[in-house]
Amino acid sequence: AGRVSTARLDASVRRVLEVKRRLGLFSRRTVPLDSLMTVVGTKRLQDEARDIAVRALTLVRDSGGALRALRAERCHLALIAYADEMNGTVAVRIAEELRKAGDTVDYFRLWPMSGTLSYDSARATIARSRRAVIVANVRPLSWRGTIALPDSLARLIMATDATRPTVLVSLGSPYLLDQAPSAKSFLIAWSGVRAAERAVGLALLGQVPIAGHLPIRIPPSYPVGYGITVADVHP
């Protein structure tokens, strides 16, 4: 208490109120739901969303070169996708982008309730492919006791990474390396929305650069502002 002066607080509040005034939020406080698609659904705003998603991509690790190898040539790969029950199509758009560009993609979906048979099927899918991409959408939800990966998935990530080039992609939590510390390639897209999945697909294809920086620290090795830049693009 007392470390921020009243004048500083007043100035900060005044800036927020000024932005609200310019946006007309004092005269119209609600948004008509039937007009949403005519506003946020416009091509201009959709293009902006796609651009933001690409610029947000943050490569934390690629020590084995798995991501760069994927960007360099089309191949046969296994795409293992994990998310909770609220996301029924996780990584489907990533697979679509890869297939459109010529990759052969074997897609397999895992859920929080997936058991031994499902993980055996995931391992069989991986065994048929030279390379693997494992996509996890782990996000905080109300009344959930954890935002961690299932232990079975963490073990699958590390076992796969030990046997073939593997890229771990997060569509949510940036802290997946806590449970999969041996993963050699780790890309964060921060969100599971359509634009973010599209950005991941294009990044894996080498069609967009990767140049994001961490807004948070990932202990113990990655400080705020860290990020590996991959600037080369293959149209």
User: Would 215 be classed as within a structural domain?
Assistant: no
Domain-located, residue 229: no
Query: Do the domain assignments include residue 233?
Result: no
**pLDDT of residue 142 exceeding 50:** no
How much is the pTM? 0.85
Examine residue 221 and state whether it is found in any structural domain, yes or no: no
Mean pLDDT for the stretch of residues 140-151: 69
Residue at 103 is within a domain = yes
For residue 231, being part of any structural domain is answered with no
- Average pLDDT of every residue of the chain: 92
78-117 pLDDT, tens digit each: 999 999 998 999 999 999 999 999 999 999 999 999 999 9
User: Do residues 95 and 16 share a domain?
Assistant: no
Is residue 122 a part of any domain in this protein? Answer: yes
Reported as a pLDDT band with limits 50, 70 and 90, residue 34 is: confident
Total structural domains within the chain:
2
pLDDT band at 23 (very low <50, low <70, confident <90, very high): confident
Q: List pLDDT tens digits, range 35-56.
A: 777 777 889 889 999 999 999 9
Q: Are residues 95 and 126 in the same domain?
A: yes
For residues 50 and 143, state if they share a domain. yes
- Domain check: are 26 and 79 in the same one? no
Q: 24: domain range?
A: 6-30
For residues 25 and 54, membership in a common domain is answered with no
Note whether 164 and 192 are same-domain residues: yes
Asked whether residue 64 falls in the same domain as residue 45, the answer is yes
Strand partners, 133: 79, 167
| CA 66 to mean position of chain CA atoms | 17
One-letter amino acid for residue 32 of the chain: P
φ/ψ of 140, rounded to 5, equals -70, 135
Let me know whether 23 and 85 are in one domain.
no
**Residue 218 belongs to some domain of the structure:** no
Report yes or no: 120 and 155 within 8 Å, Cβ to Cβ.
Answer: no
- Read off the pLDDT of each residue in 147-163 and give the average, rounded to a whole number: 95
Q: What is the CATH number of the domain that holds 163?
A: 3.40.50.1700
